[in-house]
Amino acid sequence: MAFKSEKNPSDCIYVIDRAIKEDVVHPCYLLYGTEGYLRKQNYQKLLAYLIDPKDTMNCTIYQGGGVEIEKVIDLAETLPFFAKRRVIVFKDTGLLKQSNDLLSDYLNDQAPDTVFIFLEEEIDKRSRLFKQVERDGLAVEYVQQQEKILFAWINARMKSVQKVMMDSVKGYLLDLTGENMELIDKELEKLIAYAWDRNEITLQDVKRLCPNQLEDQIFEMVKAISEKKQEQALKYYYELLGLKIAPIKILALINRQFQQILHLRDSKKKGLSESTIASNWGMRDFIVRNILSQSRNYDLSQVRWAFELGVQTDQDIKEGRITDQLAVELLIIQLSSDKQEKMA
């Protein structure tokens, strides 16, 4: 029984809940996709439904590669010890990215008291094992959630603790965290604890408690670029991708950073103090100081060239001349290269 989350990205949140409510046990489950927080939460619910997770006699977890399928099958054929069923879990094993005829064959006639759970970020939908699990079990793809769904999810969290958060505040929080639900959850926990004696979590609360991880990462990445530390700059980029920040958003923030350098240098050239510049641009004093310090690694023509190159990259992506992730990676490489060739 396959579940196609592509039709409605929000549905993947509730599939396991519905299956548990209906009290239907499938012979195998596959929880996969890029939204790690949802995969983890639903896996924990599913495991607790199928068996006591502390039952080490009847719950076996295989983590990473190198799984010996013959031993797995021997274990699967062993009757559960004073329990209704035996559960075998595969976490990030890569089994669904390769040929596994032996395991596929076994799933055709597996022991009725054994349940398999596959927990993977990446799978190959062309593999025989995937098709087998999709046909005979329950396969759920966990995808990155849209802002509307994240708002609803935050509302549910607020309702559970009898608090409210305005949409504008939720939007600001998502600007800081991106769409990484695990990161959002951690920030919500802090905010709920901080506002324990109030029924509303305000914009001031978010500004006070939640670090602007995107801004900080972008600043450090541009700093690495300006210092020609290419490997470090790319490391920051990959970390942002790991937080599920869209490449096009990363590009917009890089462009904004170079634009800020241009504006702040121009303001400083006019003799304005750092505090006045901060006030004029709605920025904190230390941010202005950091950006001005960073700008010393460039002459003015280099900053203009970097900004124009970023704008051109954005246009290339939107016109379909290059994929977004590759385009931003090439931009970072070009900007952090020791040999910069200016645009014609």
Q: What is the pLDDT of residues 208-253, one digit of tens each?
A: 887 666 677 777 888 888 888 899 999 988 888 887 788 888 898 8
Q: What is the pLDDT of residues 3-27, one digit of tens each?
A: 544 445 557 778 899 999 999 899 9
Residue 59: strand, helix, or coil: strand
Task: Give the whole-angstrom CA distance, residue 344 versus residue 43.
Answer: 54
- Copy the structure tokens of residue 288: 């202005």
Of the pLDDT bands very low, low, confident and very high (cuts 50, 70, 90), residue 113 is very high
What are 317's two structure tokens? Answer: 């992506």
**Distances 122 to 16, 39, 85, 105, 125 between C-alpha atoms, Å:** 19, 12, 28, 22, 9
Percent of residues, the chain, with pLDDT higher than 90: 41
pLDDT at 149: 87
Integer Cα distance of 188 and 206 in angstroms: 9
Q: Locate the DSSP E strands across the chain.
A: 2-3, 28-32, 59-63, 86-91, 114-120, 138-141
pTM: 0.62
pLDDT number for residue 6: 41
Quote the pLDDT of residue 259.
84
Q: What is the pLDDT of residues 48-66, one digit of tens each?
A: 999 987 888 999 999 988 8
Please check the confidence at residue 191 and state whether its pLDDT lies above 80: yes
Residue type for position 171: G
142-155 pLDDT, tens digit per residue, is: 987 878 889 999 99
Q: What is the arithmetic mean of pLDDT over 290-306? A: 77
| CB count in 10 Å sphere of residue 218 | 22
Asked if residues 103 and 130 have their Cβ atoms less than 8 Å apart, the reply is no
